[in-house]
Structure 1
Amino acid sequence: MQGGLSAKLLILTIFFVLLAEILIYIPSISNYRLTQLQDHLSAARTAALVLDAAPEGLVPRALELQILQQVGARAIILKRGNARRLLAFSDMPPTVSTTFDLRDASRIKSVFDAFATLFGTGPQIIGLIGDAPREGEFVEIVMSDEELRASMWRFSLNILLLSLVISIFTAALVYLSLLALFVKPMREISAKIMAFREAPEEPSAIMAPSDRQDEIGLAERELRRMQRQIQTALVQKTHLAALGLAVSKISHDLRNILASAQLFSDRLSSVSEPTVQRLMPRVIGSINRAIALCQSTLAYGRAAEPAPNPRHVRFKMLIDDVGAALGLGEGYPAWINEVDDKATVFADPEQLYRAFLNLGRNAVEALRAQPPRNGGAIRIAMRASETSVIISMADNGPGIPAKVRDKLFQPFAASGNKGSGLGLAIVAELIRGHGGTITLQPSPVGTLFEIELPAQTTGRA
């Protein structure tokens, strides 16, 4: 793959190996130069012993030139006390351009001197000073740096070739190791991710993690867990889509049936019998709510809950209507409305009615499924402050299992007792639309929900 991870790793490996070789080369070339110069001085000290011991003028000129050639110098000088003695020299003592004292040469200066010699222009005559034999103060030689420079370039070329060989060999080993340990597993993970993207609903698309215990193995296991969660979410969403389509069809037909029932109820409202006159307003109200709910259900697949149309609502009366719709009153379980007669909330009455109808239905089902010994009861209360209204609904039923509390307001998370699992999700959406919150509060017995609404809400939060 062009520009892939493996190519980048190979380039970086070669680069860092070459960088390491350069860092090794810098002190190496300096030490090589010092070694070469020390060899010249060592040969000069030996020659100085011979030349200094011989009587002056008795050393043949040919032997003197041969000694200079062996030392690689043009002149050998010995300093003893205040006297400097020229022990040997070529035809004419050359002019020295630079003198290096190797007795106290620092490492940093030696590095700069080495590169100055290596990249110098043309042959130069240099002087070298080192320790003298016997009681002499120092020995000095005068030489050309031409041969030294050529030798240093040969050494550098050998180092370069060796560095290239080591770099290629090391880079190949590192590259193959990284390819096997990291790049190949990452390619496999990438391929499995792309396969999952093409068919996320297929169980075979979920990757099978390896037995590795390192970060790659951890990534594989976490990816598998994430793929399972995504697949589960897709199944739920597909189920929701199918359910929504079915509910829309049912709601469409139910709306037509309810429209007919509304016509009949309108005719019954004209009957003068007292019981009919007392019950028909609630019947008509229930039918109207059912028709409105069917219309909202038909629009559910196209949008979320419609924005609330808030107004001041007599809350005690609304709770009484909820209790009547649930068939409660003097029967079981007890429906205890503790809301003050004059208490109002600023909310959409239809949406608020639906929210408490869902909460009440859940409580009734729980109490009838597991009746408490002292009798079941559902209690609704309300308290207000300057900024909010807090409404509580409590029952003394079996309570909500701990395993579903974290996902209580998600679709299908809290289904039970023949419920669809959508009731609390709908309640949470309706309350959020008013800018409020619904929470499950700790309670020693049964279930306690608290709904907090702003003191005055003008729309969806």
Structure 2
Amino acid sequence: MRLGRFERRIIAAITLVAAVTLGGAVWFGQTAVREAYEVGVNERVLSQLEGSLDVYRDYFRAVRDHADRTADSIAYDRRADEALGAGRRDALGRFLDDALERYDNVGRVVVESPSGEVVAIAERTERLDPDLNRLLVLQRPSGDGGRFLVTVTTPIAPFRSFQRADELTQVYARLHGGATYVTGFYLAVYVAFLLSVIVVALAIGIIVSRRVTRRVAVLAEATERVGRGDLAVQVPLDGRDEVAELTRAFNAMVRDIRESRDRIEYLQRIGAWQEFARRLAHEIKNPLTPIQLAVQQVHRTYRGDDARFRRTLDDANAIVEEEVATLRRLVGEFSEFARLPVAALETAELGAFVREAMRGVDTAALLPPALAGQTAPSLALEVAPGPMSVKIDAQMLRRALDNLVRNAVQAVAHAAPEGGGQVLVAARREGRDVVLEVRDDGPGIDPDQRERVFDPYFTTKDEGTGLGLAIVKKVVLEHGGAIGCHEAPEGGAAFRIRLPADEPAEREDPS
């Protein structure tokens, strides 16, 4: 694996810092471990621990002596002998209950006959819990040849403490005996740990530096591609550091350049089409009137009796009148397209603009003559609350909005001859932009045609000229915005206009 200069510098810096740190850490660790071990593990502490075990043993001997005395006091009591001699089990039982009341360290007393039969028994079950008390059963002979079984209890906590203390003392004794070995072992472990940390640090340094240099190399390659004119390049975002911020800024710059280039190219193309439309309108408009007048003149001046020729003239006159009217409408649209003005932007509230523009709109009046009388689609508004200040040319944007609504109404009407359907006009805020959207529940637009619908003279309608959406896009570009064709949630088409807001959006609380 070949390392770059930046990677080699990072590794050299990490190695130098690690070497200095390792030397100081080894010296300090060796001294600290030795002194700490000598302070904690020494003969005096071991003697104290062994002395504490002797104290426990003395305590246990005293407990055993007390247990023997208690058992003797119960088994050799005169009342017990008298009750056994007289065969009075009730008296013996009372004696045993009295003994348990008198000796709180006795949990059970059982008296058996010489044959092993239980003559009497008394117990306190709460004293017989093995988790709380240590139980010791002591046997004493009775006066009739039987025996007393006395269960003496003592708290189990001291025994457990003794066990832990004994284990601790044994461990401490082993530590004391292997002081030199332990000190050297832990020092070796400490050094090994430091070395492993250094190796890991070097590995991390290589990985991090390689990751940074790789991302910088990707940026450099992308910059070269942009320099060669490839504006479709996008560098993947990876991480949240300064390189990621640089990548994000680079992508935004390329995107802005690409959008600006596309806008300029589209406007240049529209400009060329406008010049073509102006010339075409001029060339078509000039001969229309002479043609129409000539046909009308022929139609009016014929005085012959040939009915068949008269019908031919009538049909020709009607056809020419109709086609001239169609050509005049096309000339009007060409002229209107050629005379698109430059937008004069003024600050306005988009919500109020939409409500005003759509007030009084009759969708039935937007239907083509062939669909007259059909139930027109309904028109609904969806204006989000809150400010949506934007700079617009109200007249031009209203013209674009009317065009989109008209197209949507006609598309829904053509798809549903039985009538009905809905067209929705929505306005909302999205980040630093405001969005004006017209969508419907009609047939929609094929995905492969969604980009072409904005090209001049491209149309999917039989009677269309293909200039409406081209005008709409030019108007949007004049506003510094963008427009796209998408699939609507309702299943139809959605034309989404995105315009820059007149004021920055409120920053969200990062918390």
TM range (shorter): 0.3 to 0.5
TM-score (normalised: structure 1)? 0.37
Whichever structure has more helix as a proportion of its residues is 2
Give the TM-score normalised by structure 2. 0.34
